[in-house]
Structure 1
Amino acid sequence: MTVQGRADRVRAVADAVLYEGYLLYPYRASSRKNHSRWQFGVLGPPGAAAAGIGEEPALATQCVLRPLRADATIDVVVRFLQLQTRTVQRRDGHDYVTVPELTVAGRSWIGWDEAVECEIPLGPMPVGELTAPHTVPVAVPGGTDVELLTAADGAVTGRVVRTRRPVHAVVRVEATASTGVDAPMRLDLAVENTGDPPVDTADALRRSLIGAHLILAARGGRFVSLLEPPADVAGLVDECAHTRCFPVLVGDADPAVPGEAATLLVSPIILYDHPQVAEQSGGDLFDATEIDEILTLRVLTLTDEE
């Protein structure tokens, strides 16, 4: 498999984590379970959890890296969704009035919470320099986009307004001192929302990092499995602590170095090492916990002949 092919497989798994629960079967806004969709990796703004209107602001993990060269580096990619509120408005003279649904030129528009993918690459970071704590700010601006809706005769009959609140966070990376090349070292990583305090539950969610996770790629080194670690690092792995996430090896396993890989996924959903999207998955459903229900309901729709 090519390098790009391996990268695509890693990204497919990361996307499944990013969008888990984004829209649940039967994929209708009116469905009760789609009224509370954001469940994994939500990092709320400061004060939201204490006020009972949002999630805790941070996730943190520790993993083990085996440097293979003195100039080993790691790349860190922070990924999350930024909430985008879609408001539908009907034109009323010179003004616009917000409505729950609007049909224009045979197409229906409804008010809905969408999401925008955010991906911030950090690095490369020389491993030897990480013994001093590194703190990197992350800022995603807010904004408003307006899409005019025109009828078949070209007349503007409504509009869709999409709004986003700014999101601010920091990423912290620190490593324990290594005793030399090929000596394992522990990496401490954390992502924390540092945005403005929210005013209510809706505001807290709009200022949150949703589905937050990290992808780590080592150059001149390998991460070790925390589920099945090599014997020489088992003690170091036992000391690792995790808050609201867990790191797993991703990409194809290398039989020459079992329990080690160059890429690590820090996921808010507990996975096994080297997870893969099933070949039978023909599209992006993003509701893996409901696959059985989908299959059952679809079987029930079959005729006797089918």
Structure 2
Amino acid sequence: MAEDDAAPHFDQWYDAAVDVGAEGNQAFFGREVLTGLVQGIRDFQERRQERWEQYHGPGTTLLGCAMWMDDSELLDEIAGLEAACVVVTKQPRGKGLQPSALPDKLRRLAEFNKRTHGLPVEYFPQLEQLTTLVDGKPPIIGPGWTLPDQDRTIPTVRTIGFRKGFGGNGSMPPLLHAKLALLGRLWDHDEDDLGPADVTRFTAKRLWVGSANFTAASRRSLEFGFWTEEPVLLRGAEEFLLQLIATSEGIDPDAHVHEPQRRLPDYDDAAMAEWAAELDLDALAREADEAERPHRP
């Protein structure tokens, strides 16, 4: 290849990694910043620091967001986690494709979803009651309803936002532009503050904040990213990411606008009231039965 035809690049650029905050955390500058994200996930998975352990918590989990994700090394690392969910910007549909056909960039992530664990909602109070819409509306539920099996796990990769050009004027819609990766552990316990109970939760441990998209192309750009364990940032990022996940859509949703795929169900008020009244009557009957029994001396 002639020199003039070579891909443009920076000559003799200085890439740097510096220690920041707690031991094991670094900030990265320059090219290959995404390597710092991948290595940081690997370090956490391998428990390089004792503080990354969690009592009753084996499950390595990642919550994340980026404009797009296609980096092979990062995808492989996420695939090895016990649970993960990454929300990316909704993509345009390919021109000339059949309605059921996905562009290559979407097909790869759809296949990735099939071979990864996704995110179990039972560990997240913000997600565990959300259910898939029925004919575009939340289902109406009554006594004895349980979450459908298909809603107990959210796929690993989700989308959010508006397709480019929606509205016909070609304008750029609002974009998911943040690049965050929150690492933590799922954990189970058999009691809470009130006694025996099935407790399932997620505890955030470390956060990646960066400019680099989760893409192979970002490795050729001058970027910045760092790991932090600042508690306020962990809490803020967790709330932000769970809100994204709760209002996310599938890989290739029909809607060009933002239409969350899951919502809280509506309740059949009459059926719920009847059920509650029956419970009250049963309780009164038991109390009356107890009162009529002879007391032991």
Q: State the TM-score, normalized to the length of structure 2.
A: 0.23
Structure whose residues are more often strand by fraction: 1
